[in-house]
Structure formats: structure tokens, C-alpha cells
């Protein structure tokens, strides 16, 4: 994870999840797998996630890892920036549980100053996740709890303030709201209590233990069925259980959820916590007397107080949840899809474009984009029609097949990124493929971003010299023509390539950079 990156179309990377699996030819020389198997192989977030095979290629093992220490990083970045999410993984990998994705979307909702760019080669799962009303419910609950939960001071303030170099008081105070929200997401405190076997999120359409409301209100109104790891503590909107004098490892009767006969005795020998008249006062058995003035049985008094506390906690929860979780102006109600989240899919040729782009078009998103990197073949966007939607990818024009009157506007692509492959084993990108996508985007009014040529810079054989002279098609960095590797040394006409490396090959297409962004034409 880095606050700065060399990826041209983003400003920073955020890797709360690492690890992945090869799914198509575009993954063959994955830079993330190479880093995890070499330079970063001893780093805890990457150790064991990738290995070098017999052919000398780095391959992911299929394990994915949640990096708890980085989950709140965007909340500590004050300056707005574009953030590439899970640059070393796939957020929608089949091994990533919904609970992890929920937490990441909650952080993105809590950081509206940033623009988050989520790129996946698994758009079918992305479509299912973003289209599910239960997803909105879970994320909304996490956002609400993070904003309104009690402040938890158990996390080291220095770690949450950004570490060394952030000693300016004004900076710390300005970043405090983000740190407080991140502290709750990190610590697991003040979260909705969930059964230990639930894995953190209830998907059964029921509100979890510790969060109840009148059955007449629909569960999915705010969808408070969520939890973010850590301690299981019922969220009661400020009506906290009395815990004074509680022994180590003990819970109140309301938290235990046991029957009357199973209720625990006194939290501490010879002392009871609170009463209906004085909930904060420590009382002794002698304070409880029967009608004759004699002291009541201590165990009976303890059980009675446990029942009273349990009844009060339920009433408080019911009142709190009905008042706060279901009012129309609840600020945890999300604008879905999140307006600061861009969703994209990676393609490398016509086959992967036709398989993946229709799922992206069917996914609710503020911005939809395609990354054609590494581009390994031509892509004709006009041939991509979302099934059951009748929508053309670049224009978003929907046709019902009834003729000229049957056209309407549907979801469309907002941005296309094109780039060649870099690194060991890289394959060249034909300049015609990059130009074709640029021309298609220009005709449809879609932003086009040319990222790089990659390892191989295109060149043309000069026919005036019988093809023996190879001239670069773009201005490139200085190189020795006698030492530079030629992709096909036997070719004497048409396009060929010299291996100059990403930096020297540059990112000019027809003599200029193409840095268009959604909503911005440059």
C-alpha cells in the first residue's frame, strides 16, 4: 500500500486484501504475483501467497489474506485522491468472504473525499454483490455503527494518527473523525453482537442478537445485520449494560441470552450492580430486605436484579433501534451505488471483453470503466452487447428490436484504459489495437487513457532501405540500436518492436499522451 504510486491513472494504492489466482492469459505475468514471490516474499502481508514455478514464472497459490492493519488507511488521508483498491488482489475473488468486502465498502462510504477505483476480473460476482439489497443493508449498518458507536480509546493513538511525522495538533484534530471511525472498524468494539458461528455477518434476513426492532418494520429498511470482527458487544445506542464489578470473562444476563433458571449469580461475591432506583450504585445483600425487615436471600436478589437488567436492556434496545435505525432521516442510509466508487473490469482481448463487460454494464455503479491491460489482441466494442439488456457497451444505447422507435439510453462505459505488458516475458501490443480503441472511444464520447506501451516499443521497417532500417513510431528514450532486442529479427516489413523497457518506450500514442478521465477531457 502506498500514498503515492507509479500507476499513471491513480494517485494511491490500498491493499486491505492480498493474494489472488490466475484466471486468464492477462494474468500470466502478473506483477503482483512476481512481487509476492520475490521482493515481498518475507513481508507478512505477502508471505506464502505466491511461488516461482519450474518455468520461472510467479504464480499465486490461491490464498487470500485480509490485512487488518490497513483497513482504515484511507480515513487517515486528508487530501482527496484517487485510490486503486486491492491493487495486489481481486476484491471479488471467489475466496474473499462478503464480510471483508462489506468492511471495505464501509470505509469507502466513510471517506467521501476520495475516489475509489475497484478493478476486477470477476465482474459476475461484482454484479451479484452490488445488486443485492442485503449488501446495502450490511454496509449501511457498518457505516452507522462507525459514525455513532461509542468512542473506543483502546487503540494506540499514535498508530491511528499516522505515526511519526504527524505531530501537528491541527492535522490530528482535522483527521480525528476518520480515525474514530477507523478505530471502531479496526477494534471490533461497539459493533452489533453476532453469534460466534455466524462468521461475522448474518445473511439469513434476521436482525442479529443485540439488535431488535418491532416486527412491523421491514428488516431491510436499514439492514442492521452486520459486524466487523473483534469483540461481540451489543450496540445499544448509548444505553450501555452496567458492568461495574463484573468479574473477568463474565457477561451480564442480557449479553448471555440465557433462561431465567440459568442466570448467573452476583457478578462479584457479596456485591450487586445497580438497581431500578439507583442503577449506578453498588449494593450489598443487606440492602435487600423482605417485608419483615429481614435480609432477603442473596441468590434470589441477584437473580431478580439480573432479570430487571435484562428487561431494561431489551426495552432500551427496542426504543433505540426503532427511533434511530428506522427513522427516515437516518444518516446511515446510503446513496447506493456509492458515488465515490468507480467499478471496472480487466480485459485482454475480444473473448474476455465479451465475457466480462456485459456483467459490468449490469452492475450498479457511479462510474464504469474497462482496463485493457495487457492488451493482447484487438477489441471491437460495437460487438459487445449485454444479453437480456440489449445495450451497446460504449454508447449505452438500448434496442428492443422494434425498429428506429425502439431505442433508449441505458448504462454505458465511462472510461477505457489501454496499456501494453511490462516485465519479464512481456508480450508486445500492436499499435493498431490501441488506436482502434482510442477511435472507438472518441466516436462514442468515452474517456480514453493510454497508460503505456510496456516492455516493447513499436517500430516500422523502412521500405526505402528494403526493410533493414527499423524506425520507432513514437519518440522514445535514448537507446543503443545495436544492442536493443528486436521482437522478430527475421521480419523486414510492417510493424516490429524493440525491447526498450517501460520507461524508455514511454506512453505516447500518435505523438501525444492520452490522459482523459471520466467527466474530464484532456
The CA–CA distances, whole Å, from 10 to 16, 47, 92, 114 equal: 17, 26, 20, 11
Report the distance separating Cα 443 and Cα 262, nearest Å: 73
The CA-to-CA distance between both ends of the chain, in Å, stands at 28
Is 189 in contact with 149 (CB distance < 8 Å)? yes
What is the extent of the structural domain holding 382? 347-505
Give the pLDDT confidence score for residue 318 in this predicted structure. 58
Residue whose grid cell is 431500578: 276
Report the distance separating Cα 371 and Cα 394, nearest Å: 14
The phi and psi torsions of 260 (rounded to 5 degrees) equal -60, -40
Q: Which residues, 6+ apart, have CB-to-CB distance to 273 below 8 Å? A: 242, 243, 244, 245, 246, 267, 282, 305, 309
Mean pLDDT on 54-70: 92
Query: 399 in a domain, yes or no?
Result: yes
The CA–CA distances, whole Å, from 441 to 36, 232, 261, 263, 383 equal: 35, 50, 71, 68, 14
**What does the pLDDT look like over 467-512, one tens digit per residue?**
899 999 999 999 999 999 999 999 999 999 999 999 999 999 999 9
Is 332 in contact with 321 (CB distance < 8 Å)? no
Q: Which residues, 6+ apart, have CB-to-CB distance to 502 below 8 Å? A: 422, 452, 453, 454, 455
Specify the DSSP element, H or E, that contains 457.
Answer: strand 456-462
Q: Which residues, 6+ apart, have CB-to-CB distance to 399 below 8 Å? A: 390, 406, 407
Report the distance separating Cα 257 and Cα 129, nearest Å: 32
Number of domains observed in the structure of the chain: 1
The phi and psi torsions of 470 (rounded to 5 degrees) equal -110, 115
Report the distance separating Cα 336 and Cα 365, nearest Å: 8
**What does the pLDDT look like over 174-190, one tens digit per residue?**
445 555 555 555 444 33
Query: 435 in a domain, yes or no?
Result: yes
> Whose CA is closest to 322, among 208, 190, 181, 224?
224
Is 296 in contact with 184 (CB distance < 8 Å)? no
Residue whose grid cell is 494517485: 11
The CB density around residue 151, as the number of other CB atoms within 10 Å, is 11
> Whose CA is closest to 114, among 83, 76, 142, 139?
83
Query: 375 in a domain, yes or no?
Result: yes
Query: 482 in a domain, yes or no?
Result: yes
Query: 355 in a domain, yes or no?
Result: yes
pTM of the model: 0.69
**What does the pLDDT look like over 132-179, one tens digit per residue?**
999 999 999 999 888 877 333 333 333 323 333 333 444 444 445 555
Q: Which residues sit opposite 386 in a β-bridge?
A: 391
Is 459 in contact with 495 (CB distance < 8 Å)? yes
Q: Per-residue pLDDT for 350 more than 60?
A: yes
Query: 410 in a domain, yes or no?
Result: yes
The CB-side HSE value for 452 (13 A sphere, CA atoms) comes to 21
My answer on whether omega of the bond before 8 falls inside 30° of 0, hence cis, is no
- DSSP states of 330-363 as a string? -TT---SS-TTEEEEEE--SHHHHHHHHHHHHTS
Residue whose grid cell is 492535522: 171
Q: Per-residue pLDDT for 2 more than 70?
A: no
Query: 302 in a domain, yes or no?
Result: no
The CB-side HSE value for 69 (13 A sphere, CA atoms) comes to 8
**What does the pLDDT look like over 196-234, one tens digit per residue?**
333 333 333 332 333 333 333 333 333 333 333 333 333
Residue whose grid cell is 464520447: 445
**What does the pLDDT look like over 117-137, one tens digit per residue?**
999 999 999 999 999 999 999
Report the distance separating Cα 212 and Cα 323, nearest Å: 12
- DSSP states of 388-420 as a string? TTTEETTT-EEE-SS-GGGEEE-----EEEEE-
Residue whose grid cell is 426504543: 319
Query: 267 in a domain, yes or no?
Result: no
Give the pLDDT confidence score for residue 277 in this predicted structure. 41
Amino acid at each position: 500500500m502506498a500514498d503515492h504510486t507509479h500507476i499513471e491513472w491513480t494517485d494511491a494504492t490500498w491493499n486491505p486484501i492480498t493474494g489472488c489466482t490466475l484466471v486468464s492469459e492477462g494474468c500470466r505475468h502478473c506483477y503482483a504475483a512476481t512481487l509476492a514471490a520475490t521482493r515481498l516474499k518475507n513481508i507478512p502481508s505477502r508471505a506464502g501467497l505466491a511461488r516461482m514455478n519450474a518455468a520461472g514464472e510467479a504464480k499465486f497459490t490461491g490464498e487470500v489474506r485480509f490485512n487488518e492493519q490497513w483497513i482504515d488507511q484511507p480515513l487517515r488521508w486528508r487530501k482527496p485522491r484517487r485510490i486503486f483498491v486491492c491493487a495486489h488482489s481481486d476484491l471479488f475473488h471467489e475466496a474473499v468472504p462478503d464480510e471483508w468486502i462489506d468492511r471495505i465498502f464501509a470505509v469507502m462510504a466513510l471517506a467521501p473525499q476520495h475516489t475509489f477505483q475497484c478493478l476486477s476480473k470477476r465482474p459476475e460476482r461484482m454484479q451479484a454483490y452490488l445488486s443485492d439489497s442485503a449488501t446495502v443493508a450490511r454496509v449501511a449498518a457498518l457505516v452507522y455503527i462507525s459514525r455513532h458507536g461509542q468512542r473506543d480509546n483502546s487503540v494506540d493513538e499514535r498508530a491511528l494518527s499516522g505515526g511519526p511525522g504527524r505531530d501537528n495538533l491541527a492535522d490530528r484534530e482535522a483527521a480525528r473523525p476518520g480515525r474514530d471511525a477507523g478505530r471502531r472498524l479496526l477494534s471490533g468494539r461497539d459493533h452489533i453482537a453476532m453469534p460466534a458461528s455466524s462468521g461475522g455477518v448474518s445473511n439469513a434476513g434476521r436482525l442479529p442478537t443485540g439488535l431488535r426492532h418491532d416486527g412491523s418494520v421491514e428488516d431491510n429498511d436499514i439492514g442492521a445485520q452486520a459486524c466487523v470482527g473483534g469483540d461481540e458487544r451489543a450496540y445499544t445506542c448509548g444505553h450501555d449494560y452496567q458492568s461495574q464489578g463484573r468479574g473477568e470473562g463474565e457477561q451480564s444476563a442480557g449479553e448471555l441470552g440465557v433462561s431465567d433458571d440459568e442466570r448467573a449469580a452476583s457478578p462479584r461475591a457479596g456485591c450487586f450492580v445497580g438497581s431500578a432506583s439507583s442503577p449506578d450504585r453498588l449494593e450489598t445483600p443487606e440492602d435487600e430486605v423482605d417485608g419483615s425487615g429481614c435480609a432477603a436471600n442473596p441468590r434470589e436478589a441477584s437473580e431478580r436484579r439480573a432479570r430487571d437488567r435484562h428487561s431494561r436492556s431489551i426495552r432500551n434496545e427496542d426504543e433505540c433501534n426503532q427511533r434511530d435505525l428506522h427513522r427516515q432521516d437516518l444518516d446511515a442510509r446510503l446513496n447506493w451505488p456509492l458515488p465515490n466508487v468507480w467499478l471496472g473490469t480487466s480485459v485482454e482481448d475480444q473473448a474476455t471483453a465479451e465475457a466480462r463487460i456485459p456483467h459490468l454494464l449490469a452492475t450498479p455503479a457511479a462510474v464504469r470503466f474497462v482496463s485493457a491491460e495487457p492488451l493482447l489482441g484487438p477489441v471491437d466494442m460495437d460487438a459487445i452487447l449485454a444479453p437480456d439488456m440489449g445495450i451497446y457497451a460504449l454508447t449505452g444505447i438500448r434496442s428492443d428490436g422494434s425498429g428506429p422507435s425502439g431505442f433508449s439510453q441505458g448504462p454505458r462505459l465511462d472510461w477505457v484504459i489501454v496499456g501494453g505488458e511490462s516485465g519479464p516475458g512481456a508480450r508486445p501490443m500492436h499499435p493498431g489495437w490501441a488506436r482502434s480503441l482510442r477511435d472507438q472511444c472518441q466516436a462514442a464520447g468515452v474517456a480514453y487513457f493510454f497508460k503505456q506501451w510496456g516492455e516493447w516499443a513499436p517500430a516500422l521497417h523502412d521500405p526505402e532501405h528494403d526493410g533493414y532500417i527499423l524506425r520507432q513510431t513514437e519518440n522514445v528514450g535514448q537507446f543503443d540500436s545495436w544492442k536493443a532486442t528486436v521482437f522478430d529479427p527475421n521480419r523486414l516489413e510492417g510493424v516490429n518492436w524493440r525491447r526498450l523497457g517501460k520507461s524508455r518506450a514511454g506512453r505516447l500514442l500518435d505523438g501525444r499522451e492520452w490522459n482523459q478521465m471520466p467527466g474530464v477531457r484532456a
